[in-house]
Amino acid sequence: MFKDLTFSKEEINLINSVFQKVEVKKGDLLLKIGDTTASKYYILEGCLRSYHINSQGKEFTIQFGIKDWWMTDFSTFLYSEKAIMSIEAIQDSILYKISKNEEDYLYNKIPKIDRFFRIKLEKAHTSFQKRILANLSQSAKERYINFMETYPNIEKSIKNYHIASYLGITTESLSRIRKEL
């Protein structure tokens, strides 16, 4: 969960006291668009996806969360705004969740966790910037290749329309790209 950090026994007990283990089934929703309370999830096993549905009902996959990743909707987690995306389990998953208040409590009690999450957030922000630039400047084929590098071995366990939605293409275009490669 906190790679490269070491903790005292007391710190471990404190961490264990605030994280709640959650087991979810494929298809379960952890957060819905419009919710005002969110948790941050550490993915021990399984796969999640975050997605947005526009006013015409079209679904856009924003992110996949795989083993050893963290996932939340930051607009509601950090600022208590209405969630702008939903989070769904696309595989049976084992997660550890924490609320914003519990996370702030850990920051005060164990400052190295604050730094850990700051670095994680900076990396996530950089990753999203690169993804936006790729969507603006790369071909669908290049975006698919990047997807396969970012999410190795995930393709067989998720639906084609989720991948196509993430790439911003149709499922037919996805099939055509796969055949070319």
Over residues 151-179, the pLDDT tens digits come to: 888 887 888 999 999 999 999 999 999 99
pLDDT tens track for 87-137: 999 999 999 999 999 999 999 999 999 999 999 889 889 988 998 998 899
Q: Please state whether the predicted TM-score (pTM) of the whole model is above 0.85.
A: yes
58 three-class SS: coil
Amino acid at 41: Y
> Residue holding tokens 């999410």?
151
Asked whether 25 and 89 are in contact (CB, 8 A), the reply is: yes
Pair 39, 83: CB distance under 8 Å: no
Per-residue model confidence (pLDDT) at position 158: 87
**What is each CA distance from 124 to 62, 80, 86, 92, 169, in whole angstroms?**
12, 20, 18, 24, 23
Residue with tokens 């007391």, as numbered in its chain: 10
DSSP state of 45: E
pLDDT given for residue 53 in this prediction: 94
CA distance 96 to 157: 22
Pairing mode of beta strands 48-53, 59-65: antiparallel
**Mean pLDDT value across the chain:** 93
Smallest CA-to-CA distance from 86 within 42, 31, 14 is with: 31
Specify whether domain 9-137 bears CATH 2.60.120.10: yes
Average confidence (pLDDT) over 74-94: 95
Angle at 68 between CA 62 and CA 69, to 5 degrees: 25
Question: Of 28, 45, 60, whose CA–CA distance to 162 is shortest?
Answer: 60
User: Averaged over 10-19, what is the pLDDT?
Assistant: 95
Separation CA 115–CA 159 (nearest Å): 36
